[in-house]
C-alpha cells in the first residue's frame, strides 16, 4: 500500500483525507491518505521521514507552506508564490503550489473567463499570493485589498512582474466593487466557527458580479449569502479545495483524478 498525507498544525479539521481516499477507492488504487500533526520546527524531519518511508506524496497546510520552501526543491511557481502545498517524491523532494490552479479551475468550471477581467482580491496572505499570481498571469487586472496596506503593496509589486496588480486598503470597498467583475475572498473571515462574518454586504454588490469565497466551512458563507441577496453569481470554496487537491493527485499519480467523486465526498462530509 502506498501512503500519502497532509501535514499541518492544527490538521484535524482537514478534509483532504476524505477527498483523496474517495479518489483512491474510485480508481481501485491500493493507497491510503492520512492527516499528521507536525509542528513547524519538525517539518524537515517529517518530510524527509515520509520520503525515506516511501510515501507517494504530501500536502502541506497552515502554518507549514512557507517553511517548506527551505526544505524542498520548489517548482518555479511555488518559489514565485513563496509557498508549497504539495510535495512529490518521484524525483527527489519537489514542492509545488496548486492553489492558483485550483482557483482557476473553480472559475472555469462556472464558465468564468479570467482574461481581461477586473478582480478585487480580499486579503494578502498565503492563499492570496497564489491566486494573485495565477490571475495576473491569466490576464486579469488584480486589485489586492488588505487591512494592512503595506502587505498588499509588497504582494502587488511582486505580481506586477508577471501581470497587472494594484494594492489598496479596505476603506473604499463600495466604489471598488462597483468597478469589478469578480470579487474573491481569500481571508478567513466567515470561516467556522465565526460563520456570520463578512467584509462585504449585499448593498455594496451588483447583479453582474461574480463572488468567489475560498472559505469552504461553512459551504454557504456570510459573503455568499449576501451575494445571493444582490443577485450576484456565487462560487463556494469547495470548488477550489477539490480542484487544488485534484491537481496534487495528478502530480503524484499521473492519473486523471475523479473530480466529481472528490467533490461529492467533501460535500457529504460538510453536511
Q: Which residue's C-alpha cell is 525515506? A: 52
The backbone torsions φ and ψ at residue 137, rounded to the nearest 5 degrees and listed phi first, read: -60, -35
First to last CA, the chain: 30
Catalytic pick among 25, 44, 65, 67: 65
What is the b/e burial string over 30-68, where b = at least 16 CB atoms within 10 angstroms of the residue's CB? ebbbebeebeeeebeebbeebbeeebbbbbbbeebbbeb
- Separation of alpha carbons 216 and 237, rounded Å: 4
Q: Any catalytic annotation for residue 65? A: yes
CA nearest to 22, candidates 269, 270, 217 = 269
- Separation of alpha carbons 81 and 128, rounded Å: 9
Answer whether 64's CB lies under 8 Å from 46's CB: no
- Separation of alpha carbons 95 and 89, rounded Å: 9
Query: Which cell numbers hold the place of 180?
Result: 469589478
Surface-to-core class of residue 115, CB atoms within 10 Å of its CB (0-12 exposed, 13-18 middle, 19+ buried): exposed
Query: Which cell numbers hold the place of 156?
Result: 502587488
Answer whether 141's CB lies under 8 Å from 118's CB: yes
- Separation of alpha carbons 57 and 128, rounded Å: 24
Active site members: 65
Amino acid at each position: 500500500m502506498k501512503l500519502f498525507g497532509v501535514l499541518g498544525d492544527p490538521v484535524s479539521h482537514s478534509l483532504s483525507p476524505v477527498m483523496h481516499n474517495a479518489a483512491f477507492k474510485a480508481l481501485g488504487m491500493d493507497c491510503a491518505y492520512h492527516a499528521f500533526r507536525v509542528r513547524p520546527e519538525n517539518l524537515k524531519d517529517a518530510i524527509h521521514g515520509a520520503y525515506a518511508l516511501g510515501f507517494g506524496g504530501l500536502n502541506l497546510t497552515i502554518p507549514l507552506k512557507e517553511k517548506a520552501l527551505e526544505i524542498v526543491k520548489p517548482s518555479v511557481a511555488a518559489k514565485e508564490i513563496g509557498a508549497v502545498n504539495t510535495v512529490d517524491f518521484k524525483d527527489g523532494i519537489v514542492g509545488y503550489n496548486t492553489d492558483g490552479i485550483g482557483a482557476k479551475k473553480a472559475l472555469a468550471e462556472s464558465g468564468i473567463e479570467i482574461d481581461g477581467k477586473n478582480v478585487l482580491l480580499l486579503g494578502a496572505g498565503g492563499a492570496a499570493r497564489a491566486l494573485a499570481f495565477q490571475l495576473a498571469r491569466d490576464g486579469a487586472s488584480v486589485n489586492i485589498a488588505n487591512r494592512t496596506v503595506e502587505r498588499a503593496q509588497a504582494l502587488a509589486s511582486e505580481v506586477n512582474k508577471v501581470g497587472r496588480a494594484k494594492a489598496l486598503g479596505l476603506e473604499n470597498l463600495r466604489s471598488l466593487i462597483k468597478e469589478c467583475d469578480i470579487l474573491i475572498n481569500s481571508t478567513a473571515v466567515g470561516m467556522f466557527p465565526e460563520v456570520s462574518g463578512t467584509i462585504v454586504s449585499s448593498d455594496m454588490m451588483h447583479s453582474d458580479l461574480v463572488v468567489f469565497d475560498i472559505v469552504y466551512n461553512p459551504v454557504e458563507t456570510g459573503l455568499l449569502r449576501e451575494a445571493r441577496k444582490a443577485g450576484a453569481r456565487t462560487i463556494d470554496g469547495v470548488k477550489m479545495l477539490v480542484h487544488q487537491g485534484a491537481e496534487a493527485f495528478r502530480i503524484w499519480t499521473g492519473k486523471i483524478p475523479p473530480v466529481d467523486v472528490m467533490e461529492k465526498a467533501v460535500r457529504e462530509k460538510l453536511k
